[in-house]
A and B are shown apart, each in its own frame.
Chain A
Amino acid sequence: MATTRMSMAKALNAGLRKAMEQDPRVVLMGEDIGKLGGVFRVTDGLQKDFGEDRVMDTPLAESGIIGTAVGLAFRGYRPVCEIQFDGFIYPAFDQIVSQVAKLHYRSQGNVKMPLTIRVPFGGGIGAVEHHSESPEAYFAHTAGLRVVACADSDDAYGMLQQAIASDDPVLFFEPKRLYQHKGDVDLDRALTSREPLHQARIARTGTDLTVAAYGPVVGTALAAAEAAAEDGVSIEVVDLRTLSPVDFDTLEQSVLRTGRLVVTHEAAVFMGMGAEIAARITERCFYHLEAPVLRVGGFHLPYPASKLEEHHLPDLDRLLHATDRVLAY
C-alpha cells in the first residue's frame, strides 16, 4: 500500500477530484470555489480541470445554493455544496431541514436527494465571530439527514467520496483547524477498504475508560490518552466519525470492555451530541458502567472572542480532569 503524505485540505481536494472523475453527475457549488479554490483551497484547481459548469461559483446566498442543489438532485445530479463557514449555514437551514431532509420521505421514496453539504466547522483558528461554530447537533436532530465528521486526511479523502456516493443527503463537517494538518493517505484504496461511512473507529485501544470524540477533538483525545498512559491509565479512544446515525454498536462494545465513558466535542454540552450518546450508552450498558457518563465540551454561550476560545474549547487538561473524575468513582 503506497501512501501519500498530504494535508486534510489536499486530501479533500483529491477526494472531490476522484468523485468528479468517476461520476459526471457530481457538480460542485459554493461561494468562491472556482478561481480562488475556496477560502480554504479545498476546491483548488477543480474549476480549471472540470469547467465552470461542474464547479460553479454561486451568488452569495446560502439558501439559494442548497435550494438550487435540490432542483439539480430532482434532475438526477449529485451536488456537492460548500458552505463557506459553519456560522453561514443558518440562512440555508430551512432548505436543509424542510426540503433536503424530507423530500425522499414526503415523496414516498420517489425523489432522491443525494446532496453532500460540506461545512468547515469548529474553532481554534482565532477567527472573528460566526466563523468557529459547531452546528452539527441541529442536523443530527433532523431525520432524513446523515451527518459525519472527518478527523484525519485519510478519512477526509475516503469519507467525502462515500458521502457523495450515498443516495441520502450528507452533512459533511470538516474540522477547519485541521485543514493544514498532514497525514498519510492511500489514494488508490477502494472506498470500502477502511471503515464504511457509518462506522466508528477505535483510534487507540485501552482498558480503563473510553473517550468518544469526533472531528477536531479526536486529536485532543489521543493526546490525553498519551498523557494518561504516562500515569499508568489506559484510555481507549473512539473516533465516532458518524453523528447520524451514531455507531452505538462499536461504542457499546468499547464501554463493555472499559466500563467508563467520557464524550467530548467542541459544541456546547447542553442538548448536544454528548447528551444523546450518554443517554443511549447508559441504556445499553447500565449494568456495566462503573461511573456516570461525563461530557466535556463548549459552554452555553455564543462562541466567544478568539482570545477566550482556549477556555471555551475542550483541551487536554479539561479532558484529563474529566477522566480523573470518572476513574475516581
Chain B
Amino acid sequence: MTVTTDQMVQLITPTGERRPHPVYEGLIADLDGAALRGLYEDLVVVRRIDAEGTALQRQGQLGLWAPMLGQEAAQIGSGRALQTEDFVFPSYREHGVAYCRGVDPADVFGMWRGTSLSCWDPYDINMAIPAIIIGAQGLHATGYALGLKRDGVEAAAVAYFGDGATSQGDIAEALGFSATYQAPVVFFCQNNHWAISEPVGLQAQVPIYQRAAGYGMPGIQVDGNDVLAVLAVTRWALQRAREGSGPALIEAVTYRMGPHTTADDPTRYRPTGELEEWRERDPLARMLALLQREGLADDAYLESVTAKADAVAAELRAGCLALPDPAPLSMFDNVYAEAHPLVAEERAQYAAYLDGFEGSN
C-alpha cells in the first residue's frame, strides 16, 4: 500500500537539500550549526549502540536484541524534542530515545542479557521500562498524562509504538481516552513497515495518521528518516499538549532495515529490492549530506563523531560484560511492595534447599 501522502512533512530531501515548509520550518529555526552537528552525532552514536547490541548478541553475550537500524532519525528527532519533565512510555526498540533520555548505556542491556527484567529506574530518566506486550504502554502514557494535567505540570507523556500496535485495542482505547480527557499525550508511531513478518498493509488500510481524525485529535505524517522534520513535528505536538490543547498522533514513516530481533530472518518475507530502496533514504546519509551542503562537516568534526561513537561503544560493551549475574534468591525480591507470606515461605524453602548443597562438594 502507499504509505506516504502529499501531507507528509519533510524538511530535508533524501539528497540533503533543505525543503521549505510554512509551519514546521519555523519550529527548528533555532538550530544553529552546532545543533545540527549534534543531531548528526546522535544519529551516528545510536546506530553504533544498536550495532554493538547486534554484535553482542551474535557473540553470545545477549540472549536477544531488537535492532533499530534505519529508525535513528525517528528516535533522535522525537527524543531531542523532549524536555526533562516529559515522560516516555516506550516499546522495546527505543534504544535511541533512551540514549536521548540519558540512560547509562550499560543499563540498556540488563533486559537483553537476562540479568534483570528492566533496564533503568524510570524516575531517574523519566522513561518507563520497555513494554513487551504490544500497545499496552499507550494507555499508561494516557494515564500518566492525566496525572500531569491534574498536578498542573506543564509537561507531556509520549507513547512510542510501531505500526503493528495500531491494530491493538489498547492503542485504540488510548486514543479514545486521551481525547475524552484531553490528556497531554503524544502518540508517536514509528511505521517501520513490518511487524515481524507482517507488512503494514495487514494492519492498516489507510495511512495511520488519518486515524487521529476519528478520535478528534490532529494526526501528522512525517518523514521518519528526516531528523529535522521529526524534531519539528514532535516539538509542535509536545508544545500543544503541554499548553492544554490535548493529544496528537504522529506517524513517522521509516523502515526497519534489520530483522525484528536477532532471532528473525527477514529474507523469508521481505520483497526483493525493498531494502535497497530504503537504503537510499538512509537517515544518516541524508543528514550528512545536509551538513556537507552547509559546510558543517569538515574532517575534524567527522573524526570527533567517530571518536564519540567509539567511546560510547567501548563503555557499553564493558558495562554489559560487567553486569553481574543475579543471586538466586533475588528472584523473590519485589514481587510485592509489602510483606507477603507465600513469597516469604517459598523463599525460605528454596533457601533451605540451596543450603543443602553446601558442604556436599
* A contact set with B: CB distance below 8 Å: 53, 56, 58-59, 61, 63-64, 66-77, 79, 91, 94-95, 98-99, 103-114, 143-144, 146, 166-168, 198, 244-246, 248-249
Cα(A61)–Cα(B181), bound, Å: 14
Q: B129–A63 contact, CB under 8 A? A: no
Cα(A91)–Cα(B138), bound, Å: 16
* Partner among A110, A113, A146, A167 whose Cβ is within 8 Å of the Cβ of B122: A110
* B contact set with A: CB distance below 8 Å: 87, 89, 116-118, 121-123, 128-129, 133, 136, 138-148, 150-151, 157, 169-170, 173-174, 176-177, 180-181, 333-338, 340-343
Residue among B121, B136, B147, B333 with the most chain A CB within 10 A?
B147
A68-B142, A73-B143 as given contacts; A109 in contact with B173, CB under 8 Å: no
* Partner among B147, B333, B337, B340 whose Cβ is within 8 Å of the Cβ of A75: B147
The dominant DSSP class at the B interface is helix
Q: Mind listing 21 A-B residue pairs with CB under 8 Å?
A: A64-B173, A64-B174, A68-B143, A68-B177, A72-B144, A72-B146, A75-B148, A77-B150, A79-B143, A94-B170, A99-B133, A103-B129, A106-B117, A107-B334, A108-B334, A109-B333, A111-B129, A143-B335, A146-B336, A244-B342, A249-B341
Q: A72–B147 contact, CB under 8 A? A: yes
* Partner among A61, A64, A71 whose Cβ is within 8 Å of the Cβ of B144: A71
CB of B353, distance to nearest CB on chain A (Å)? 16
Q: A59–B173 contact, CB under 8 A? A: yes
**Residues in B neighbouring A63, C-beta threshold 8 A:** 139, 169-170, 173
Q: B177–A59 contact, CB under 8 A? A: yes
Cα(A246)–Cα(B333), bound, Å: 20
Q: B142–A67 contact, CB under 8 A? A: yes
A61-B176, A63-B169 as given contacts; A110 in contact with B121, CB under 8 Å: yes
CB of B160, distance to nearest CB on chain A (Å)? 14
Q: B174–A67 contact, CB under 8 A? A: yes
Q: A64–B176 contact, CB under 8 A? A: yes
Q: B173–A71 contact, CB under 8 A? A: no
* Partner among A56, A70, A104, A248 whose Cβ is within 8 Å of the Cβ of B139: A70
* Partner among A56, A77, A249 whose Cβ is within 8 Å of the Cβ of B147: A77
CB of A239, distance to nearest CB on chain B (Å)? 18
* Partner among B118, B181, B336 whose Cβ is within 8 Å of the Cβ of A106: B118
B129's nearest neighbour on chain A, judged by CB, is A107
Cα(A63)–Cα(B138), bound, Å: 11
**Residues in A neighbouring B138, C-beta threshold 8 A:** 67
B181's nearest neighbour on chain A, judged by CB, is A56
Cα(A271)–Cα(B333), bound, Å: 27
Q: A67–B136 contact, CB under 8 A? A: yes
Q: A64–B133 contact, CB under 8 A? A: no
Cα(A98)–Cα(B137), bound, Å: 11
**Residues in A neighbouring B147, C-beta threshold 8 A:** 71-72, 74-77
Cα(A99)–Cα(B118), bound, Å: 13
Q: A71–B116 contact, CB under 8 A? A: no
Q: A168–B337 contact, CB under 8 A? A: yes
Cα(A110)–Cα(B343), bound, Å: 19
Cα(A79)–Cα(B177), bound, Å: 16
* Partner among A61, A99, A107 whose Cβ is within 8 Å of the Cβ of B173: A61
Q: B177–A64 contact, CB under 8 A? A: yes
**Residues in B neighbouring A61, C-beta threshold 8 A:** 169, 173, 176-177
A66's nearest neighbour on chain B, judged by CB, is B139
Q: B136–A75 contact, CB under 8 A? A: no
Q: B338–A168 contact, CB under 8 A? A: yes
B337's nearest neighbour on chain A, judged by CB, is A167
* Partner among B143, B333, B337 whose Cβ is within 8 Å of the Cβ of A67: B143
CB of A169, distance to nearest CB on chain B (Å)? 9
Cα(A76)–Cα(B143), bound, Å: 11
A68-B177, A144-B336 as given contacts; A75 in contact with B122, CB under 8 Å: no
* Partner among A53, A68, A94, A110 whose Cβ is within 8 Å of the Cβ of B133: A94
Cα(A114)–Cα(B89), bound, Å: 19
Q: A107–B140 contact, CB under 8 A? A: no
Q: A112–B177 contact, CB under 8 A? A: no
Sort A-B residue pairs by CB-CB distance and give the 3 closest, nearest first. Answer: A71-B143, A67-B139, A75-B147
Cα(A69)–Cα(B139), bound, Å: 8
Cα(A324)–Cα(B147), bound, Å: 56
CB of A40, distance to nearest CB on chain B (Å)? 24
CB of A59, distance to nearest CB on chain B (Å)? 5
Q: A71–B139 contact, CB under 8 A? A: yes
Q: A74–B116 contact, CB under 8 A? A: no
Cα(A64)–Cα(B133), bound, Å: 15
